[in-house]
């Protein structure tokens, strides 16, 4: 028997694909890039992607490939930009030794910006996610520990945590969250095993310490390990460790390791931005399952996310256009 997942009633929201914008917070004029696929429906998910140390919003947008994933899957993307330090480098304030005394409130900025974008562009308040590379990955960790519930799930890449940083509730978050870590075993910038004596960045924690914390905090007892095929024969195999629980609505923790260095997971065997979205999409919570309904007035036609007319099919997000002007987004599960 067919069942229908009703996602939302809406009219498609038309906006420019990419906008370079400013947001005033805590006395500072902050920059960010907002990207929206054409014909993005109301209440769509939102993904934040944060750049690394010395990087930029434009740079991580070009590097991460997330716009392409957004086009394919129907979500908006925000690329925020950090502030500039005394040496002229863009950064996120995560507690580096040479940033001692810096008081920039990046946690507050990112959480407030997320709420603003949700309201301004009528995006989902429950399906907003955060990922980032290196320094941006470190912001992912701090936001998760902050426990504000603004962001639903996190996916740090090549990041870590500095215990001497500004956050006061390290390892005491308000709530469990889904967590997906990607890190190179040969990373010579942010070592997988951590470094308690680093003389440049400062003391930082190992990836295993952070993954173990979220596994335990989320009460996960099952582990599934897979090795991705070495498609380009470079020996930099990616191995996935997926922690889960038999309990319903549990928050999984994923760890992907590869034999490459300090990068976005560019070993050539997987598309990490697609894996990040696959993880985030597990926790999309807009849908409400109900029994099949007969009709809403007269159906005119059905389109996909790109506005192309299609026939009804299972397991795909489709838009049903009715003669009273209503648009219904739904997925039929067989």
Closest CA relative to residue 69, chosen from 266, 274, 264: 274
Burial bucket for residue 250 (CB in 10 Å: 0-12, 13-18, 19+):
middle
Q: Are 134 and 156 in contact (CB under 8 A)?
A: no
Q: Are 277 and 304 in contact (CB under 8 A)?
A: no
Confidence at residue 250, expressed as pLDDT on a 0 to 100 scale: 84
Q: How far apart are CA 32 and CA 50, in angstroms?
A: 10
Q: Give the chain's residues under pLDDT 70.
A: 1-16, 267-268, 286-297, 305-307, 313-317, 319-320, 322-334
Closest CA relative to residue 155, chosen from 238, 50, 81, 284: 50
Confidence at residue 326, expressed as pLDDT on a 0 to 100 scale: 60
Confidence at residue 322, expressed as pLDDT on a 0 to 100 scale: 64
Confidence at residue 4, expressed as pLDDT on a 0 to 100 scale: 43
Could you write out the three-class secondary structure of 23-70? EEECCEEEEEEEECCCCECCCCCEEEEECCCCCCHHHHHHHHCHHHHH
Closest CA relative to residue 146, chosen from 170, 113, 128: 170
Alpha helices in 218-329 (DSSP H): 272-281
Please name the residues in contact with 189: beta carbons below 8 A apart, sequence gap of 6 or more.
134, 158, 261, 262
Confidence at residue 301, expressed as pLDDT on a 0 to 100 scale: 72
Cβ burial 214-239 (10 Å sphere, 16+ → b, else e)? bbebbebeeeeeeeeeeeeeeebbbe
Alpha helices in the chain (DSSP H): 57-64, 66-73, 106-120, 135-146, 207-217, 272-281
Domains (range + CATH), the chain: 3-293 (3.40.50.1820)
Cβ burial 18-46 (10 Å sphere, 16+ → b, else e)? eeeeebebeeeebbbbbbbbeebbbbbbb
Confidence at residue 164, expressed as pLDDT on a 0 to 100 scale: 79
Q: Which two tokens stand for residue 233?
A: 């024969």
């Amino acid at each position: 028997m067919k069942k229908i997942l009703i996602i939302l009633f809406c009219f498609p929201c038309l906006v420019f694909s990419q906008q370079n914008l400013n947001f005033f917070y805590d006395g500072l004029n902050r920059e960010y890039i907002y990207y929206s696929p054409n014909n993005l429906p109301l209440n769509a998910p939102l993904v934040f992607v944060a750049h690394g140390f010395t990087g930029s919003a434009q740079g991580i947008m070009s590097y991460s490939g997330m716009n392409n994933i957004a086009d394919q899957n129907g979500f908006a993307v925000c690329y925020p930009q950090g502030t500039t330090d005394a040496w002229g480098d863009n950064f996120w304030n995560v507690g580096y030794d040479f940033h001692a005394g810096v008081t920039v409130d990046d946690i507050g900025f990112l959480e407030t910006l997320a709420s603003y974008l949700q309201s301004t562009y009528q995006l989902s308040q429950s399906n907003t996610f955060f990922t980032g590379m290196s320094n941006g990955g470190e912001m992912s960790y701090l936001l998760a520990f902050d426990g504000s519930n603004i962001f639903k799930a996190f996916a740090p890449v090549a990041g870590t945590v500095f215990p001497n940083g500004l956050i006061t509730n390290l390892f005491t978050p308000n709530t469990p969250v889904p967590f997906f870590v990607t890190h190179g075993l040969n990373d010579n910038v942010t070592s997988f095993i951590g470094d308690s004596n680093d003389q440049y960045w400062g003391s930082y924690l190992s990836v295993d310490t952070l993954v173990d914390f979220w596994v335990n905090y989320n009460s996960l007892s099952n582990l599934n390990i897979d090795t991705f095929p070495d498609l380009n024969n470079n020996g930099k195999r990616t191995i996935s460790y997926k922690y889960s629980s038999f309990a319903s609505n549990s928050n999984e923790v994923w760890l992907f390791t590869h034999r490459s260095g300090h990068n976005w997971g560019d070993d050539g065997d997987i598309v990490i931005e697609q894996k990040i979205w696959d993880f985030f999409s597990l926790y999309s919570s807009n849908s409400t399952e109900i029994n099949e309904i007969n009709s809403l007035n007269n159906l005119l036609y059905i389109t996909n996310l790109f506005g192309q007319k299609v026939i009804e099919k299972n397991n795909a997000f489709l838009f049903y256009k009715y003669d009273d002007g209503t648009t219904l987004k739904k997925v039929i599960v067989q």
